[in-house]
A and B are shown apart, each in its own frame.
Chain A
Amino acid sequence: EPEVTQTPSHQVTQMGQEVILRCVPISNHLYFYWYRQILGQKVEFLVSFYNNEISEKSEIFDDQFSVERPDGSNFTLKIRSTKLEDSAMYFCASRGTGGGNSPLHFGNGTRLTVT
């Protein structure tokens, strides 16, 4: 069964550094997402991306964050200058068509630790 893959599985970075989290969505999917989960807390929406542009973003997704689909397969989340509070598990997700009915398929996540 096709999967969403995320790399790396764990990234440690120093405060103020830029970090790029990488995702390869399922190949025929059209909608892409980033969510994050601070340790022990709920999963929170960050951003959705469709047709090469952001379709919705949350208030968490400020100017320090950006997303890109640099080629036909990758979908990246960049944090320009990381803060301690950015430490979390970041999940990429994708879905096909079908409106809100089609489920999101999540990757295994990247655990980001900012020191």
Chain B
Amino acid sequence: AQKVTQAQTEISVVEKEDVTLDCVYETRDTTYYLFWYKQPPSGELVFLIRRNSFDEQNEISGRYSWNFQKSTSSFNFTITASQVVDSAVYFCARNKEYGNKLVFGAGTILRVKS
């Protein structure tokens, strides 16, 4: 199976620390898409970012940044100056170019303490 692995089950940081969530994926596809979703304690899944396999440029959005390294099949997510409201489960996911099925990693629980 072409898995998505989030090796960090749970991370705890103190507010204002930077934190990086790791994601490693497997794929045999030439074209594919990678995503990050956030699941706050209220339970919904919130889309954060998508990336296609041809675009290895890193992206920054406010305190969020993403580092896509095709050579290591990784798509890591960094939160700078973390805040308590960042506490959530973060899921990395992968999709094929014309695929329907989004394959999720197991998620990383991020706890930000004040």
Contact A100 B32 (CB under 8 A): yes
Closest to B31 in A: A100
For residue B56, give the distance in angstroms from its CB to the closest CB of chain A: 15
Q: State how many residues of chain A have any CB contact under 8 Å with chain B.
A: 27
Contact A45 B97 (CB under 8 A): no
Interface residues on B, range: 20 to 34
Identify which of B45, B52, B96 contacts A43 (C-beta below 8 A): B45
How many A-B pairs fall under 8 Å by CB? 63
Stretch at the interface among B57-65, B67-75, B98-106: B98-106
For residue A10, give the distance in angstroms from its CB to the closest CB of chain B: 10
A-B contact pairs, 12 of them (CB 8 A): A43-B93, A48-B100, A100-B31, A100-B33, A100-B96, A101-B33, A103-B35, A103-B47, A103-B50, A104-B102, A106-B44, A109-B44
